């Protein structure tokens, strides 16, 4: 199994002057679940090289076994520091694609031509596509095989309006992810704030928040062992 993980290259939290990027747990938990299952994981980002880490995700309250493991894993750190450019990645080389979240993707993923083309290629090939927390934003302008929005009529989830309100960034993000997923025709559902919650519809996997990143990777692995068409 070969899986491409796509991280954000965006590091500015709107006009706040604060930094953002990818959320450490949302990278580390899926990374190790997939690797421990025997998958070969490659990393990419729009700009290539070291993707920006949201500094808040390093707070003690947000550390997990996976994040602690990453901090002592020099090989994984080296891989992360040398992500390939997204435009150089091909769906032909991988069995699935997975997007970790963090607020960064809200800015550099919705209209990213390379990302959209890549996801559409995975969909056309019937390969699993996964995204967690804010990363389902990468799906909002993707088209399915029929030319309609990919998520139209599909069961999806992502970072909720109430979770965005809880972190005080409702007026900072370009738009609210929950609203945009609904606008694109997604059948949006959610659990309580911060609770693990994953939706699977065909070969599409979406997770609600950081706690959902590991469970989403588990569902992606299940799909990799199935032949269900998207």
Domains of the chain: 2-224 (3.40.50.880)
Residues 6+ positions from 192 with CB-CB distance below 8 Å: none
Q: Do the Cβ atoms of 7 and 27 come closer than 8 Å?
A: yes
pLDDT band at 5 (very low <50, low <70, confident <90, very high): very high
pTM comes to: 0.96
CA–CA gap between residue 97 and residue 131 (Å, rounded): 8
Cβ atoms of 193 and 160 closer than 8 Å = yes
pLDDT band at 229 (very low <50, low <70, confident <90, very high): very low
Using CA atoms, how far apart are residues 135 and 22, in angstroms rounded to an integer? 9
Q: What is the pLDDT of residues 141-177, one digit of tens each?
A: 999 989 999 999 999 999 999 999 999 999 999 999 9
Residue found by looking up tokens 């953002």 in the block: 20
pLDDT at 145 (0 to 100): 86
Report whether 169 contacts 103 (CB < 8 A): yes
Cα separation, 149 vs 126, whole angstroms:
16
Structure confidence by residue, pLDDT tens digits, 48-66: 999 999 999 999 999 999 9
> What local confidence, expressed as pLDDT, does residue 125 receive?
96
% of the chain with per-residue pLDDT over 70: 98
């Amino acid at each position: 199994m070969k899986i491409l993980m796509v991280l954000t290259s965006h590091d500015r939290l709107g006009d706040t002057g604060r930094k953002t990027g990818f959320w450490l747990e949302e990278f580390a938990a899926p990374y190790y679940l997939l690797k421990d299952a025997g998958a070969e994981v490659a990393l990419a980002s729009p700009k290539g090289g070291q993707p920006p880490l949201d500094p808040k995700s390093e707070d003690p309250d947000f550390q997990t076994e996976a994040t602690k493991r990453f901090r002592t894993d020099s090989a994984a750190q080296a891989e992360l520091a040398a992500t390939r450019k997204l435009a150089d990645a091909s769906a032909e080389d991988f069995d699935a694609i997975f997007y970790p979240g963090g607020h960064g993707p809200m800015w550099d993923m919705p209209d990213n031509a390379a990302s959209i083309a890549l996801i559409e290629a995975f969909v056309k090939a019937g390969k699993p596509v996964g995204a967690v927390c804010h990363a389902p934003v990468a799906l909002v302008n993707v088209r399915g095989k029929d030319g309609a929005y990919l998520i139209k009529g599909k069961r999806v989830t992502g970072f909720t309006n109430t979770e965005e309100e809880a972190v005080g960034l409702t007026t900072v993000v370009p738009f609210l992810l929950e609203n945009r997923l609904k606008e694109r025709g997604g059948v949006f559902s959610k659990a309580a704030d911060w609770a693990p919650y994953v939706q699977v519809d065909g070969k599409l996997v979406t997770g609600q928040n950081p706690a959902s990143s590991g469970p989403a990777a588990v569902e992606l692995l299940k799909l990799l062992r199935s032949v269900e068409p998207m």
